[in-house]
Amino acid sequence: MCLSGASIAWVNRVRYPGIFIVKSRTFKCSLDHAKRSFYRAANAIFGKVGRVASEEVTLHLIKSKCIPVLLYGLEVCPLNKSQIASLDFNRFFMKLFNTNTMKIIKACQSYFSFKLPSVLIPIPVNKFTARAKAI
- Over residues 1-16, mean pLDDT: 82
64 confidence band (pLDDT: 50, 70, 90): very high
DSSP letter for each residue of 24-69: -SS--EE-HHHHHHHHHHHHHHHHHHTTTS-HHHHHHHIIIIIHHH
Cα distances from 40 to residues 26, 67, 80, 92, 125, in angstroms, run: 30, 12, 24, 12, 25
Nearest to 96 by CA among 83, 86, 84, 111: 111
Within 8 A by CB and 6+ apart from 92, the residues are 42, 46, 62
The reply to whether 7 falls in a domain is no
The reply to whether 134 falls in a domain is no
- pTM for the full predicted model: 0.76
CA–CA separation, 57 and 117 (whole Å) = 19
Q: Which of 21-25, 61-65, 106-110 has the least mean pLDDT?
A: 21-25
135 confidence band (pLDDT: 50, 70, 90): low
- Over residues 11-21, mean pLDDT: 82
Domain count, the chain: 1
CA–CA separation, 44 and 41 (whole Å) = 5
The reply to whether 80 falls in a domain is yes
Tell me the pairing of strands 19-22 and 13-16. Answer: antiparallel
The reply to whether 125 falls in a domain is no
Domain that holds residue 71: 13-119
User: What is the CB-side half-sphere exposure of residue 7 using CA atoms within 13 A?
Assistant: 3
CA–CA separation, 68 and 88 (whole Å) = 13
Q: How many CB atoms lie within 10 A of CB 86?
A: 14
The reply to whether 37 falls in a domain is yes
